[in-house]
Amino acid sequence: MSEAKTLGIDHLGLTVEDLMLSLSFFTDCLGWEQFGGNPDYPSAYITDGTSKLTLWQAKTDTPTGFDRHNNIGLHHVALKVESEEALNALFDAVKDWPDVKVEFAPEFSGKGPKIHCMVYEPGGNRLELSYDPR
């Protein structure tokens, strides 16, 4: 195996339909922190202390919706939590958050033991929340 020339993902940039709705979801619901942004190209830089995302405001009033089956690029963003209890508690908060769409509630990924759920955050991006005891 050759040695990788990179050191991991620095950040992931997501275009969202409504920057303020998505920012509120990540900071108020998921507990992330905003550490910057760019008002000229409306964006917000956020972190959970480990991962970093840039949320970019779509530049059209009629953005094309997320479609993991037909568009090249993002399929989903997977965020991990520390326990099954934490996953269930987070799902309970997320499922009732305004403008969140639930694809499926926590369940085994395949035959397990990983447990995950899928939701769409208010800006339209698909998020996986998961716990893996391995």
Task: Say what percent of the chain tops pLDDT 90.
Answer: 83
Q: Place 73 in a pLDDT band, splitting at 50, 70 and 90.
A: confident
The pLDDT value given to residue 54: 97
Distances (CA, A) of 4 to 7, 8, 53: 8, 9, 23
Strand order in the sheet with 33-38: 12-16, 52-57, 43-47, 33-38
pTM of the predicted protein model: 0.91
Domain definitions of the chain by residue range: 12-59+75-131
Question: What pLDDT is recorded for position 46?
Answer: 98
Structure tokens that stand for 60 in this block: 């059209």
pLDDT tens digits for range 81-107 = 999 999 999 999 999 999 999 999 999
How high is the mean pLDDT of the chain? 94
In the predicted model, is pLDDT for residue 122 greater than 80? Answer: yes
The percentage of the chain sitting over the pLDDT mark of 70, rounded to a whole number, equals 100
Find, among 8, 23, 17, the residue nearest to 57 by Cα: 17
Q: What is the pLDDT of residue 97?
A: 97
12-59+75-131: in CATH 3.40.720.10: no
Q: Which two tokens stand for residue 97?
A: 């958050």
